[in-house]
Amino acid sequence: MLGELREMKEMMKKLSLHQALQIPSDPAVETIEQRLLEQEVDPLLVKQLMGQVLEEAEAADEPKPLTEAFVLASVRRQLIEFMQPKGTKAIRRDSRIAHFVGPTGVGKTTTIAKLAAEQVLKHHRKVGFITSDTYRIAAVEQLKTYATILNVPLEVVFSPLDLSKAFENLKDRDLIFMDTAGRNFRNEMYVSELNALLKSGGQSETFLVLSLTTKYKDMKVITSNFSKFKLDKVLFTKMDETDSFGAIVNLIRDFGLQTSYIANGQNVPDDIEELDELRMIDRILEDNNHE
């Protein structure tokens, strides 16, 4: 009897919570809500955004009609508030080492080549490469090819013990790009080794590289694991391979990371730019059915 009563109370509690999250049915609200869900914005965040829309409509001296324009303006304003960048997106001028970490297959090496080319050709900085990605077949060769094209030196390190010699060989460089192996971030030995590689001298910053084709559930686990390190910025790749960008909203909301660059293709050095939050919000809110 007591067990049944407890179950009934739990069921009523869940029902009450569910009802609290329900947004009153309105065509404009439903349209924008569906648009956000299709963009894979977290459903709970969508409910919060829509709840705020209703509050704003009712808080006015005269209740505002829930037109699509009103709902869009409210949601856009809310997204802008918590997606505002907190600092410099680009590689800082005082950074001597830029580390790139992330899971395998996200395009770290190609991204490094793009950013290195920008530093060499646009900012005229003396650049060097260090790679510890000796586990993936042809990874070193790929970076060596880019190093040859850009006419920059490359150092290969097989363990953290090799770092001192690598830095000594690159002591005349203004900026060093370090490519790390995208091995299993759940492996404790890898975590320990990567942490040792990131403890390098001089001004440095660490970029977490994530692919927009990765499911947010996995992206969240990846970011949580790499948060063991000093993550300074997050960089997104493969924008050209997806029409869904809600994961960017979710990640900023959940981890508060500083955004940096976004890559939208394989062309070096062209297919990369600083992420523009306002343009990204517009892409998330635009009606893709009328393109």
Assess whether 218 and 105 both reside in one domain.
yes
- For 6, residues 6+ apart whose C-beta sits below 8 A from its C-beta are none
Of the residues 83, 106, 136, the one at which a domain ends: 83
Say if residues 154 and 148 touch (Cβ distance below 8 Å): no
Q: Which domain holds residue 112?
A: 97-276
Whose CA is closest to 116, among 139, 79, 87, 145?
145
Q: What pLDDT is attached to residue 3?
A: 62
Instruction: Tell whether 130 is covered by a domain.
Output: yes
Of the residues 59, 83, 107, the one at which a domain ends: 83
Assess whether 129 and 267 both reside in one domain.
yes
Instruction: Tell whether 89 is covered by a domain.
Output: no
CA distance to 103, 246, 254, per residue, from 217 (Å): 14, 12, 12
Assess whether 126 and 217 both reside in one domain.
yes
Assess whether 25 and 154 both reside in one domain.
no
Q: How confident is the model at residue 219 (pLDDT cuts 50, 70, 90)?
A: very high
Q: What pLDDT is attached to residue 197?
A: 64
pLDDT cut 90: percent of the chain above it: 49
Q: What pLDDT is attached to residue 134?
A: 61
- CA dist 213 and 206 (Å) reads 22
Instruction: Tell whether 27 is covered by a domain.
Output: yes
Of the residues 50, 83, 116, the one at which a domain ends: 83
- Residue 155: phi and psi, rounded to 5, are -115, 135
Assess whether 269 and 174 both reside in one domain.
yes
Q: How confident is the model at residue 181 (pLDDT cuts 50, 70, 90)?
A: confident
* Omega cis (within 30) before 103: no
Assess whether 75 and 101 both reside in one domain.
no
> Where does residue 159 fall: left (phi above 0), alpha (psi -120 to 50 degrees), or beta otherwise?
beta
Assess whether 77 and 131 both reside in one domain.
no
pLDDT at 17 over 60: no
Instruction: Tell whether 255 is covered by a domain.
Output: yes
Average pLDDT, the chain: 83
Q: What is the CATH number of the domain that holds 210?
A: 3.40.50.300
pLDDT at 16 over 70: no
Q: What pLDDT is attached to residue 6?
A: 63
Assess whether 103 and 72 both reside in one domain.
no
pLDDT per residue as tens digits for the range 40-85: 999 999 999 999 998 888 876 666 778 889 999 999 999 999 888 7
- CA dist 70 and 85 (Å) reads 25
- CA dist 130 and 151 (Å) reads 14
Assess whether 255 and 120 both reside in one domain.
yes
Q: What pLDDT is attached to residue 203?
A: 86
> What secondary structure does DSSP assign to 147-162, as a single string?
HHHHT--EEE-SSGGG
Q: What pLDDT is attached to residue 61?
A: 66
Instruction: Tell whether 155 is covered by a domain.
Output: yes
The lowest-confidence range among 5-19, 46-60, 76-90, 271-285 is 5-19
Instruction: Tell whether 112 is covered by a domain.
Output: yes
Neighbours of 93 (CB within 10 A): 11
Assess whether 39 and 165 both reside in one domain.
no
Assess whether 38 and 156 both reside in one domain.
no
CA distance to 12, 103, 140, 177, 284, per residue, from 203 (Å): 56, 24, 25, 12, 36
Instruction: Tell whether 16 is covered by a domain.
Output: yes
- For 120, residues 6+ apart whose C-beta sits below 8 A from its C-beta are 127, 150, 152
If one counts the domains in the chain, the total is 2
In terms of DSSP H, where are the helices of the chain? 2-21, 27-38, 43-59, 68-83, 108-121, 139-150, 163-169, 188-198, 216-226, 246-255, 277-285
pLDDT per residue as tens digits for the range 99-155: 998 888 888 989 999 999 999 999 999 999 998 876 666 668 888 999 999 999 999
Q: What angle do CA 213, 259, 159 make, to 5 degrees?
A: 75
Q: What pLDDT is attached to residue 142?
A: 85
Assess whether 269 and 145 both reside in one domain.
yes
Say if residues 146 and 138 touch (Cβ distance below 8 Å): no
Q: What pLDDT is attached to residue 14?
A: 47
Instruction: Tell whether 287 is covered by a domain.
Output: no
Q: What pLDDT is attached to residue 268?
A: 84
